[in-house]
Amino acid sequence: MKKRKKKRGTPPKMKPRKRKRGRPAKMNPRDQAELRHRMLPPLDPEEFSQVFALAMKAAAKAPPATNPELPRGSSVEEDGAVSESQGVDTPFTRAMDSVFAHYKDRVLEALSALGRVDEVMNLARSGDLAPWVRSNPDTPESQIHPAVIEAAATTRLTKATAFPMPEFLREVRRLASEKYPEGDAW
């Protein structure tokens, strides 16, 4: 039998990879990053700044009053009406509701914004953003530098819905020096 010569430039025939039962097919890490980037897209910095402010305002709002005589999960609204909540009322859930209310039918943008809001708050709490966070001794509120908010809107998110820290901090420093050269005047 004569061996056939393969034509140059033709890829070898490959059998499709069989998936093991119950396990997802493996994906190239570069493809995973691209898919995640498309699923949690960067946001318009101005709109994200507004959404961030809405989320923080909602998170800071006092939870509705509860009455021990009402069934668990029920609360009395300001107008006296009794409402049953679908979940636990926490600052995060109030922030989440405000983000989804803002984006309405744009679910991927809402998820992206929520992940970014959550990550900024985690970084502020951990002290990683200390140079860009101001606290007011008279109130429990803090002020976050606009460069942080702008960088948070556009920096890619990792698999764990976090910012790659060196990249994120580099972007914050760049934006702070370019757009806010006056330093403390923000």
Give residue-wise pLDDT tens across range 36-79: 556 788 999 999 999 999 999 998 887 665 555 545 555 556 66
Q: Sign of dihedral through CA atoms 85, 121, 101, 34? A: negative
Q: Which pLDDT does position 32 carry in this prediction?
A: 58
- Give the DSSP per-residue string, the chain: -PPPPPPTTPPPP-PPPPPPTTSPPP--HHHHHHHHHHHS----HHHHHHHHHHHHHHHHSPPPB--TTSPTTEEE-TTS-EEE-SS---HHHHHHHHHHHHHTT-HHHHHHHHHHHHHHHHHHHHTTTGGGEEE-TTSS-EEE-HHHHHHHHHS---TTS---HHHHHHHHHHHHHHH-TTSTT-
Percent of the chain with pLDDT over 70: 64
Q: Where are the domains of the chain?
A: 41-64+82-179
Average pLDDT value over all residues in the chain: 79
Count Cα neighbours of 17 within 13 Å in the Cβ-side half-sphere: 7
Please say whether the beta carbons of 165 and 157 come within 8 A: no
Give residue-wise pLDDT tens across range 2-19: 666 655 555 556 555 665
pTM of the model: 0.68
